[in-house]
Amino acid sequence: MTTRSSHYSTRNVVFVDGVRTPFGKAKPDGYYAHTRADDLAVKTLRELLRRYPELPPERIDDVAIAATTQQGDQGLTLGRTVALLAGLPQSVPGFAIDRMCAGAMTAVTTAAGSIGIGQQDIVAAGGVEHMGGHPMGFDADPNPRFLSEKIVAPDALNMGVTAENLHDRLPHLTKERADAYAVASQNKYAQALADGNISPDLVPVATRNPESGWGLATTDELARPGTTVEGIANLKTPFRPGGRVTAGNASPLTDGATMSLIAGEDTARELGLPIGMRLVSFAYAGVEPEIMGYGPVPSTQKALERAGLSIDDIGLFEINEAFAVQVLSFLDFFGIADDDPRVNQYGGAIAMGHPLASSGVRLMIQLARQFAANPQVRYGMTTMCIGLGMGGTVIWENPHHPDFAPSPSHPVGADA
């Protein structure tokens, strides 16, 4: 067993594996209208434990679970309650995280920090969002100083309006480009589903409807195969009359949960666990809340600088598609074509849904699968915008690349 030392030295941190529920529409007739949010998270954690019987449950040092609206069945210190409900030993602690849409991403990077200095070995990290039961911002009470002191603009707390603002700031990112990008996301997701690249990561969830009885959710509920640019061209613009953001080029309201296992590379090898990706660097950054979607640009700049890499070193991108214009602003800044094949190979949130705090791990799950299919790619990136004007980026290394060097196995704190 790995020993720990008070003389910290860093060690490599890896993404072992991750799973997610099928994503459901956040409506009264959606998959999970009568399912508790915490039960969705429990299902994902139990599935990871089932997949890796070589992992003794007592070796899990913590359970970190994010939710944006932490109330009701998304409250009560989710990490701890889910750990208990999933049957982990009572010795395993847990906690909850809120960084809005980047909640699960922050759960992973928080775990990575603890593991990297040797204070933990294995952490279960993920997120859940039942937007049907807990709409974003429901019952929130923003401080009146936000507006009275002009800290943020009156419309900065509405994510759809911030997407319209981004169109205003970058008028060359037209509605036509956003619609074309959205249709491509739908098509890529449909192809990935047909190719068997989505289903292996999904945990079937038993559901119950008081009227129709029991069911089983096995596929994402929100995709719109066959979407065309012409078909979404005249959809309503709910955030602004004559605007550019529609239901066709934005992510839908979604229910779902994700979970991952994050570990020290030495611990993963000790226990015979797979290594899906190695964490290289991560960063969070702030921007004007009014253009929230631009956040991934500065967070990516910081993460690249910390890694000693350039954008040209990144061979695969998983960019959360909160809104098409948000992705386009990122691609535009870094000189990447709208249809670059490195970007969101399996489609994105516009097609499959965006259950807020859980989406960060969904990006990681898909990148790990793409790494396995593309051993020639050494580095990949997961990135997303965050409410109130932030962005988050994590850079990963592909363990299947010829230049990937396994780290030496030695106790943390020992001489390298």
Assess whether 385 carries a catalytic annotation: yes
What pLDDT is attached to residue 111? 98
What Å distances lie between residue 269 and 18, 21, 111, 235, 412, CA to CA?
A: 17, 27, 18, 51, 14
Average pLDDT over residues 278-301: 97
For residue 414, name the pLDDT band (cuts at 50, 70, 90). very low
Question: pLDDT tens digits, residue range 42-89?
Answer: 999 999 999 999 999 999 999 999 999 999 999 999 999 999 999 999
**Considering only CA atoms, which of 11, 19, 13 is closest in space to residue 278?**
13
| Residue 264 tokens, joined | 């020290």
Assess whether 101 carries a catalytic annotation: yes
Beta bridge partners of 283: 393
Average pLDDT over residues 110-119: 97
What pLDDT is attached to residue 167? 97
> Which residue of the set 172, 354, 400, 410 is catalytic?
354
For residue 2, name the pLDDT band (cuts at 50, 70, 90). very low
Average pLDDT over residues 295-324: 98
Tokens 């190719």 sit at which residue?
Answer: 195
| Residue 305 tokens, joined | 């600088």
For residue 210, name the pLDDT band (cuts at 50, 70, 90). confident
What Å distances lie between residue 58 and 55, 92, 130, 264, 272, CA to CA?
A: 8, 7, 29, 16, 16
**Considering only CA atoms, which of 176, 155, 318 is closest in space to residue 249?**
176
Q: How far, in Å, CA of 396 to CA of 82, rounded?
A: 28
Range in 86-90, 145-149, 250-254 the model is least confident about: 145-149
> Which residue of the set 7, 34, 385, 401 is catalytic?
385
Q: 324-352 burial, b if ≥16 CB within 10 A, otherwise e?
A: bbbbbbbbbbbebebeeebbbbbbbbbbb
Q: How far, in Å, CA of 70 to CA of 62, rounded?
A: 19
* Mean per-residue pLDDT of the chain: 94
Radius of gyration of the chain (CA): 20
Is the predicted pLDDT of residue 8 greater than 80, yes or no?
Answer: no
Range in 219-228, 245-254, 405-414 the model is least confident about: 405-414
The DSSP call for residue 215 is E
Question: pLDDT tens digits, residue range 384-401?
Answer: 999 999 999 999 999 999
Average pLDDT over residues 183-196: 98
For residue 4, name the pLDDT band (cuts at 50, 70, 90). very low
Going by their DSSP bridges, the two strands 94-97 and 24-25 should be labelled as: unpaired
Q: Are 253 and 124 in contact (CB under 8 A)?
A: no
| Element of type H or E holding 216 | strand 213-217
What pLDDT is attached to residue 153? 85
> Which residue of the set 101, 130, 134, 167 is catalytic?
101
- At residue 261, the 3 state secondary structure works out as strand
Share of the chain above pLDDT 90, in %: 88
Assess whether 134 carries a catalytic annotation: no
For residue 155, name the pLDDT band (cuts at 50, 70, 90). confident
Residue 89 Ramachandran class (φ > 0 left, ψ -120 to 50 alpha, else beta): beta
What pLDDT is attached to residue 136? 83
Q: How far, in Å, CA of 204 to CA of 82, rounded?
A: 18
Average pLDDT over residues 169-179: 97
